[in-house]
A and B are shown apart, each in its own frame.
Chain A
Amino acid sequence: MSHDHEISCEEVIERLFAYLDGELEDVSQETIDRHLAHCRDCFTRAEFEKRLRARVADSVSTTAPQRLRTRVRFLLDEF
């Protein structure tokens, strides 16, 4: 195990969102993966952020007004 690949908790937390987005710039996904596999605190935090974002994604769906469904059906019938 190379020392170069080690990363502190602070460095992981700073990059947590970029990691979850798959948008890391200066560190590889694997480096963070390895840290999370061994660090319970960071793992717990990463799990929380993942679950929170799943809830945010989930919250977006909103019952569409019947008027909109009718309008769209009409539009698809016309054209």
Chain B
Amino acid sequence: MTDQPTEQDDSERGGEGPLDRAAFAERVDALMDRLYGTALRLTRNPDDAEDIVAEAVGTAWKRRADLRDVERFEGWLFRILNNTFVSWLRRRRSREDLEVSSEPEDGDADSGGDFSLFARLHQPFLLWWGTPEHEFLNRLLREDIQRALDQLPDEFRIAVVLVEVQGHTYREVAEMLDVPVGTVRSRLSRGRSLLQQALWERARDAGLKTVVDSPDRNSDGSVDNGQT
């Protein structure tokens, strides 16, 4: 946490930090697809995602003196990206406060918090099929996951991205979003459950059923979904 961005302004006139402009730009460039992809999953909007990445990189460059250890560049930059996103979210919320609240009922966490993809894959009718969970993962496409994430309500999706994708602790997420740790826990639980449910439905619609229906799928020829 020592490289956490701070509000201090002295970095602009202070030291240059450990990276010169070219080295900084090169590192940003190498992370660009992940920065953009993360911002896109968080905002779900390509234009907003671009704005957030650009703003985050600008902020990072201004605060480059805060980065003491070059090895931590990636975590440092992603933290700035998250903070930029959270500010964007607050601005957007305050503009849209006439809209019906998009805050989920956190008390609902239990009602949908128990869908298990693994349990579905291990239903008796699928069990003859060797190791269903391996087969499922092998067939799962990047686009399937992106679409499933995108269809989660904001609060759940944000919790899942911050914890599962970025590896933040519950406490870090709670601080970032300014909510209690228990709220992070329940949003995460609900978010994972909904994500697994969406992936299950997608797999079922896209070919899992065909596989179940056609044990001899190698000679069947009609099942090519997810095979690359």
Contact = CB atoms under 8 A, between A and B. Distances in A.
Interface of A: 17-18, 21-23, 44-45, 48-49, 51-53, 55-65, 67-69, 71-73, 75-77, 79
B149 A64 contact: no
Interface stretch (B55-63, B101-109, B206-214, B215-223): B55-63
B89 interface: no
Contact of A55 (B29, B50, B140, B185): B140
Interface in B31-59: 32-38, 40-41, 46, 50, 53-54, 57-58
Interface in B95-141: 117-118, 121, 133, 137, 140
Contacts of A59: 142, 145-146, 149
Contacts of B65: none
A68 B32 contact: yes
B188 interface: yes
A17 B32 CA distance: 29
Given A59-B142, A62-B40, A68-B53, A51 B164 contact: no
Given A53-B164, A59-B146, A61-B33, A79 B61 contact: yes
A79 B58 contact: yes
Nearest to B37: A62
B92 interface: no
Chain B at the A interface: SS class:
helix
B165 A71 contact: no
A64 B32 contact: yes
8 contacts: A49-B118, A52-B196, A60-B34, A60-B161, A61-B33, A64-B53, A73-B29, A77-B21
B189 to A, nearest CB: 7
A17 B170 contact: no
Given A68-B32, A68-B53, 20 more contacts: A21-B163, A48-B133, A55-B145, A56-B160, A59-B146, A60-B146, A61-B33, A62-B33, A63-B36, A64-B53, A67-B50, A68-B54, A71-B50, A71-B54, A72-B25, A72-B54, A75-B54, A76-B28, A76-B61, A79-B61
